[in-house]
Amino acid sequence: MTTGLILDPTSSASDDITGPGPDASVLAGRTVGFRVDILWRSWDWVAELWADELRKLGAGVKFWRPHGRSGDEGDQALRELDAFTDAIDIAIVGLGNCGSCTGWTIHDALFAAKKDLPTTAVLTRHFEQLGEALARRGGRSGLRRFILPYPLDVLPRTEVEAIARDHFPLLLKTIGAQSK
């Protein structure tokens, strides 16, 4: 009789980081960085509205938008991501709204989290499980993930902004922020 070994694909890595990392804590005087992308105008609208709200709480805000992800452009994007994460205190990375966008969202969020920045990956509901699996596979199952409704990008700007306003208090709670 032949015997085999069955591996459990749901197991966790022994060095998995199950905690969310540091809280954002007090926002006043700190710089929040938004990683935006080249596809989702809805994420631009959400990030702009949240940035305005964060400024009202005394935070500074920076944006970074990568362009190429392979070859020389990919190397440049990694250098830019490194410089961007060195220039911020808190990272909000989005938008996981398709398969590859979710992959890059988690990739960039993991990059920021490895620098011990309070980090949150923003995903739409349809890609929540993929984001969770990618974070776990990246060794940080506890990575903060903030979930927005799906579909988001097909909605008019006024509806997206209303969703962003409604979700802002929960975002503050998710990132572990204190207004004072």
List beta partners, residue 94. Answer: 122
| Residues 12, 10: Cα–Cα separation, whole Å | 7
State the pLDDT at residue 125.
Answer: 98
DSSP 134-154: HHHHTT-TT-EEEEE-SS-TT
99-114 helix and 71-86 helix, angle to the nearest 10 degrees: 40
The amino acid at residue 126 is: H
Q: How many domains does the chain have?
A: 1
Query: Which pair of tokens denotes residue 148?
Result: 């927005």
Q: Report the CATH number that the domain containing residue 144 is assigned in CATH.
A: 3.40.50.10140
Question: Would residue 144 count as lying in a domain?
Answer: yes
Question: Would residue 83 count as lying in a domain?
Answer: yes
| Residues 120, 46: Cα–Cα separation, whole Å | 14
pLDDT per residue as tens digits for the range 62-72? 999 999 899 99
| Residues 136, 142: Cα–Cα separation, whole Å | 8
Q: Which of 54, 46, 24 has its CA nearest to residue 177?
A: 24
Question: Would residue 89 count as lying in a domain?
Answer: yes
State the pLDDT at residue 2.
Answer: 77
Question: Would residue 20 count as lying in a domain?
Answer: no
Question: Would residue 13 count as lying in a domain?
Answer: no
pLDDT per residue as tens digits for the range 119-135? 999 999 999 999 999 99
The amino acid at residue 55 is: R
Question: Would residue 57 count as lying in a domain?
Answer: yes
Question: Would residue 14 count as lying in a domain?
Answer: no
41-56 helix and 157-175 helix, angle to the nearest 10 degrees: 50
Question: Would residue 87 count as lying in a domain?
Answer: yes
39 close to 103: Cβ distance less than 8 angstroms: no
Q: One digit per residue, pLDDT tens: the chain, 180 residues?
A: 777 766 666 666 779 999 999 999 999 999 999 999 988 999 999 999 999 999 999 999 999 999 989 999 999 999 999 999 999 999 999 999 999 999 999 999 999 999 999 999 999 999 999 999 999 999 999 999 999 999 999 999 999 999 999 999 999 999 999 866
List beta partners, residue 120. Answer: 92, 144
pTM of the predicted model as reported, rounded to 2 decimal places: 0.93
